[in-house]
Structure 1
Amino acid sequence: MTNNPSTLYRAGVLHCPADPSATALLVRDGRIVWLGSDADAPSADRVVELDGALVTPAFVDAHVHVSDTGLVLSGLDLSGARSAGELLDAVSAYAAGLPADAVVLGHGWDESTWAVAQPPSAAQLGRAAGGRRVYLSQASIHSALVSEALLAACPEAVAAPGYDESGWLRRDAHHVVRAVARASVTRAQRVAAQRVALGHAASVGIAAVHECGGPEISDEEDFTGLLGISGAGVPEVYGYWGELGGAARARELGAVGAGGDLFADGALGSRTAHLSEPYVDGDGCGHGYLSADQVRDHLLDCAAHGMQGGFHAIGDAAVSTVLEGFAGAARRLGTDRLRAARHRVEHAEIVDRRLIAGFVEFGVVASMQPAFDRLWGGAGRMYESRLGLARSLASNPMGAMHGVGVALAFGSDSPVTPLDPWGSVRAAVAHHNPVQRMSVRAAFAAHTRGGWRAVHLDNEGVLALGAPATFAVWSTPAGVERGLPVLQAADPEARGADDPTPLPVCRRTVLRGEVIYEEGSA
């Protein structure tokens, strides 16, 4: 073998638009150095037989919370609870295996899926947990159920906006109890959770993630520790630090941007997303956390430090405020300079044509989560409950954005929704509103090249000569069509959120030539 051993992958189906007939590729020094047919393949130090498997660029998840994802994967997952009783039973069973002084941490309950949408009280949670402190984040992560013991440990939460004696806390009160609950997780537990999450990401064909941290949702040690293991046998991590006016600090921490979960509003699930029209199932229009002047000044701060900026904005009122701030920054910097930075908006769930035009004008990347529509869109689901049917069908308009040239980067917001990239591609293809549906090719591009372009790595995410050897190998039980898996049933009546078509299964994930996941390996 040479000092720079090469690996030939052959007898596969390659997603390579520049050479659709290619069945093999050669990797050396972390790059693709040859592409073509098996018959023309050069010799190599190692040979991997693909046996007809599909090879595509690996996925990028453009919005994750790695530590929280790992804690859910290795802890109390409440996404399957369908009633308050089931939630309490799960808490009781989980708490029974913990020390008496432990904090019970769980995530994923979603009362909008329950027949009776009434969560248990703080007192009931305490009894189920044997008197322990309990923190259970709702699926949106923007509210939580807590026990009486945890409330007693957080007296400042009582006077904070969003407090409710029932134990279902939102806004500032939620931030207070979240900080106390997170402090119960040791550094060793956090590192272990990060590795669990990144290992799982690799197992579903993800080679890079965008971590959305910040002082309100994580801490600096968690953030820098995660960046420290980026790419070390696990997917690469590109960090965003969401602190207002914190571009210099974001750079010091090793972030690629001062944004991500820099909150302009909350979430639809907790009725804290900022809307221009009231919620149909609650009082008011939610909450805006930033002014247009603050948005403008943050973007100017990012420009001064050469950083990408961004904001979490879900409701149309919040997005409108953010774009007003962009306009203010453009008056100072010029539109071309603003566009060149590729600033981001996370989620952008409720936007109309006027707001979409703002994304185009300022070159804003829309970091979106197709699974949101799959889980909560359509008739009879959470979006309709919060917004009414007409507004719910206008939500998550990724098809309209793609159609006018908005740069899209798809992700999961894990643990809000699971790490499931092909499921997200199918969700974009099968949007509940037919007007918003995308082709498989366009949705796949948004979940691969879109994520790389969002961090200014324009040459990544393709199978091409000289490109980084970052790809995934798939079993495709439903077959392959034009270089991509079949994701939908042949019968149009069977398509949608419950489509029975089996999704691809990852056999191997390769990051810059290094295998970071292999099916069947420990």
Structure 2
Amino acid sequence: MTNPAMVSGADLPAVLYRGGRLYCPAQPGATALLVRDGRIAWLGVDADAPRADVVVELDRAVVTPAFVDAHVHVTDTGLVSGGLDLSAVRSPQELLDRVAGFAAGLPGDAVVLGHGWDESTWERAVPPDAGQLSSAAGGRRVYLSQASMHSALVSQALLAAVPTAPTTEADVLAAGGVSGWVRADAHHAVRAVAFGALGAVQRAGAQRAALESAARAGIAAVHECGGPVISSEADFAGVLAMSGDGLPEVYGYWGELMGVARARELGAVGAGGDLFVDGAFGSGTAYVSRPYVDRDGCGRCFLTADQVAAHLVECVRSGVQGGFHAIGDAALSVVADGFAAAARQVGVERLRAGRHRVEHVELPDRRVVAAFVEFGVVASVQPAFDRLWGGDGQMYAARLGVERALASNPFAVLHGVGVPLAFGSDSPVTPLDPWGAVRAAAAHFNPASRLAVRSAFAAHTRGGWRALPPGVVDASREGVLALGAAATFAVWSAPAGVSPQGLPVVLADDPAVWGPADPTPLPRCLRTVSRGREIFVAAEQVAVGAG
């Protein structure tokens, strides 16, 4: 099966890109490449370059394979980029002020959509209640997702519009007695109502804006994670329809339990992604084996091991890649048990052949890691989680304690035993910032979890292609600069220079400054090319003449 949205490059002129510094380990001296019919037709030095229809002067810029973001929410990302971004808010009053200012410019029947608040960064970590939000928004419906996207603040008007009001109220109270802060099932119900109010034009505009942002970041493909809880069928289909239309390619995952047939009908490449086994640390809903430090309980588990196994067996028998969202150690244990049960029904080799995947994988223990190795599971992970919330003194330590915070996101452990890694952002939970993710993986708060920059880069390029189901693309020809490979690459300004391996420098030489405060400037994207088609060109870049 190939992606029906992939566009042939046969109608394109032959383009020579020359005068660059190519990240091409098999041909380290290469400075130029020729693109013909959507593939790399020649690699070498400028002096040996063949003639072409168009010549692009790279002026010593760095050329690398383009990035793949293996976990995004396209519509949410677009809404945040053009809407109410609350990531910089540092107090309840500041949040109310931002809501009031944003709502004032909206029609009276509009829904105020915002994202990114994180009460763990506030001196007084008690968000406004539903009544205060209603007052600030002039009586409008308000939905403000927390940074993790697994809980939200909502106004009285929005709560009143949710059909499952009794369940909603129960889950509001379960969220610490803060009226208007919803999580778990209540959050899912409220989110559906809030996003159901979006018009088709607004939704499409947000989707296009998000994909354009991805292209500007050097991202040529994204994995959209949708499902009946996190999005809608119309939203999901709309994102997939934009794939490759002068934008990054979109590969969709539909997260519905036993929903293989529906995933296929919608054009998804896999029946997984945000199929929730648990929630998130930020909302206190990730399922952990030991209670949270700052609240009662161990989070929420939404699926049993038997349900995980049944979904995997359906995927195997239908020839579809499956997957799950699992963050806490207890949730990951449920997933591991489900894989083992599925293997007993269909056999280990058939299960491994599906290259099934798990999203996030933040707190795996040794047994879980061993199960991933045994069953060939791909770990789709987000390095920015550690950068934003890991280590001592940040949100994970407040929720879990320092020991578990430092044990989270063990990239080096997974990589070291052969678990395939695919990096993503979970945007808008964290930004579309692939070089930032590479740096975050290499500068993990726990030195034992750090990856080499080259390994981190591979996880964010080739790793994203290899995380797709078998047969969707020829993974051997994706994510590399090589003769015959897909002409999918990005051109970068590298202000900090180039490493001996040929990659832009993203970390200071002194390990003492590694981490969120590292001052090393990150590369800036000048061009993004997808199968020979330029989907982003910076204003200062000009194609020069004929060959």
> Equivalent residue for 1:47?
55
What CA deviation, in whole Å up to 9, does each residue of 1:222-258 have, x standing for no partner? Answer: 1112111101100000000000000111011110000
For residues 321 and 73 of structure 1, the distance between their equivalents in structure 2, rounded to whole angstroms, comes to: 36
- Is 1:189 matched with 2:202? yes
Q: Residue type of the partner of 1:473?
A: V
- Is 1:519 matched with 2:538? yes
Displacement after TM superposition at 1:5 (Å) = 2.2
> Equivalent residue for 2:7?
none
Q: Residue type of the partner of 1:471?
A: F
- Is 1:469 matched with 2:487? yes
For residues 325 and 414 of structure 1, the distance between their equivalents in structure 2, rounded to whole angstroms, comes to: 28
> Equivalent residue for 1:385?
398
Aligned to 2:427, what secondary structure does the other structure show? coil
> Equivalent residue for 1:59?
67
Change (3 A) 1:152 1:4: closer
Question: What is the aligned-residue RMSD (CA, Å)?
Answer: 1.3
> Equivalent residue for 2:29?
21
Q: Is the 8 A contact 1:157 1:176 kept in 2?
A: no
Q: Residue type of the partner of 1:462?
A: V
Q: Residue type of the partner of 1:216?
A: V
For residues 227 and 182 of structure 1, the distance between their equivalents in structure 2, rounded to whole angstroms, comes to: 18
Q: Is the 8 A contact 1:158 1:173 kept in 2?
A: no
For residues 165 and 208 of structure 2, the distance between their equivalents in structure 1, rounded to whole angstroms, comes to: 32
For residues 155 and 252 of structure 1, the distance between their equivalents in structure 2, rounded to whole angstroms, comes to: 28
What CA deviation, in whole Å up to 9, does each residue of 1:372-417 have, x standing for no partner? Answer: 0000001110100011011110001111100111000000000000
Q: Residue type of the partner of 2:321?
A: Q
For residues 254 and 4 of structure 1, the distance between their equivalents in structure 2, rounded to whole angstroms, comes to: 27
Q: Residue type of the partner of 2:380?
A: S
> Equivalent residue for 1:364?
377
- Is 1:207 matched with 2:220? yes
Displacement after TM superposition at 1:492 (Å) = 2.6
Q: Residue type of the partner of 2:344?
A: R
Give TM-score, length-normalised by structure 1. 0.98
> Equivalent residue for 2:315?
302
Q: Aligned match of 1:147 in 155, 159, 180?
A: 155
For residues 3 and 316 of structure 1, the distance between their equivalents in structure 2, rounded to whole angstroms, comes to: 50
Q: Is the 8 A contact 1:345 1:367 kept in 2?
A: yes
The correspondence of residues 66-465 of structure 1 with structure 2, limited to 5 A, is 66-154=74-162, 156-160=164-168, 161-164=170-173, 166-455=179-468, 456=470, 457=473, 458-459=475-476, 460-465=478-483
For residues 24 and 108 of structure 1, the distance between their equivalents in structure 2, rounded to whole angstroms, comes to: 42
For residues 3 and 241 of structure 1, the distance between their equivalents in structure 2, rounded to whole angstroms, comes to: 33
For residues 300 and 167 of structure 2, the distance between their equivalents in structure 1, rounded to whole angstroms, comes to: 18
For residues 511 and 411 of structure 1, the distance between their equivalents in structure 2, rounded to whole angstroms, comes to: 18
For residues 157 and 286 of structure 1, the distance between their equivalents in structure 2, rounded to whole angstroms, comes to: 22
Displacement after TM superposition at 1:4 (Å) = 5.5
For residues 400 and 11 of structure 2, the distance between their equivalents in structure 1, rounded to whole angstroms, comes to: 61
For residues 251 and 148 of structure 1, the distance between their equivalents in structure 2, rounded to whole angstroms, comes to: 38
What CA deviation, in whole Å up to 9, does each residue of 1:101-139 have, x standing for no partner? Answer: 111100000011111111111111111111111110001
For residues 521 and 206 of structure 1, the distance between their equivalents in structure 2, rounded to whole angstroms, comes to: 19
For residues 151 and 3 of structure 1, the distance between their equivalents in structure 2, rounded to whole angstroms, comes to: 53
Q: Is the 8 A contact 2:11 2:37 kept in 1?
A: no
> Equivalent residue for 1:501?
520
Q: Aligned match of 2:504 in 485, 494, 501?
A: 485
Q: Residue type of the partner of 1:71?
A: L
Q: Residue type of the partner of 1:353?
A: R
Q: Is the 8 A contact 1:470 1:513 kept in 2?
A: yes
> Equivalent residue for 1:32?
40
Aligned to 1:195, what secondary structure does the other structure show? helix
Displacement after TM superposition at 1:336 (Å) = 1.0
Aligned to 2:281, what secondary structure does the other structure show? coil
What CA deviation, in whole Å up to 9, does each residue of 1:50-77 have, x standing for no partner? Answer: 0000000000000000001001111101
Q: Residue type of the partner of 2:131?
A: A
- Please list every run of 5 or more consecutive structure 1 residues that lacks an aligned counterpart in the other structure: none
What CA deviation, in whole Å up to 9, does each residue of 1:447-475 have, x standing for no partner? Answer: 00000001143121000000010000000
Displacement after TM superposition at 1:337 (Å) = 1.1
Q: Residue type of the partner of 2:138?
A: G
Equivalenced residue count is: 521
Q: Is the 8 A contact 1:157 1:177 kept in 2?
A: no
Displacement after TM superposition at 1:159 (Å) = 2.5
Displacement after TM superposition at 1:521 (Å) = 8.0
Greater displacement, 502-511 / 143-152: 143-152
For residues 4 and 117 of structure 1, the distance between their equivalents in structure 2, rounded to whole angstroms, comes to: 55
- Residue identity (%): 69
For residues 401 and 101 of structure 1, the distance between their equivalents in structure 2, rounded to whole angstroms, comes to: 49
Aligned to 1:158, what secondary structure does the other structure show? helix
Aligned to 1:331, what secondary structure does the other structure show? helix
For residues 28 and 165 of structure 2, the distance between their equivalents in structure 1, rounded to whole angstroms, comes to: 59
Greater displacement, 487-496 / 103-112: 487-496
Greater displacement, 326-335 / 257-266: 326-335
What CA deviation, in whole Å up to 9, does each residue of 1:346-394 have, x standing for no partner? Answer: 0010111221111101000000000000000011101000110111100
What CA deviation, in whole Å up to 9, does each residue of 1:295-343 have, x standing for no partner? Answer: 0000111112110000000001111001101001111111111111110
Displacement after TM superposition at 1:155 (Å) = 5.1
Displacement after TM superposition at 1:520 (Å) = 1.5
Displacement after TM superposition at 1:183 (Å) = 1.1
Q: Residue type of the partner of 1:156?
A: T
Displacement after TM superposition at 1:175 (Å) = 1.1
> Equivalent residue for 2:6?
none
Displacement after TM superposition at 1:491 (Å) = 2.7
Aligned to 1:162, what secondary structure does the other structure show? helix
Displacement after TM superposition at 1:494 (Å) = 2.1
Give TM-score, length-normalised by structure 2. 0.94
Change (3 A) 1:49 1:289: same
Q: Is the 8 A contact 1:14 1:24 kept in 2?
A: yes
For residues 70 and 284 of structure 1, the distance between their equivalents in structure 2, rounded to whole angstroms, comes to: 34
Aligned to 1:484, what secondary structure does the other structure show? coil
Displacement after TM superposition at 1:493 (Å) = 2.4
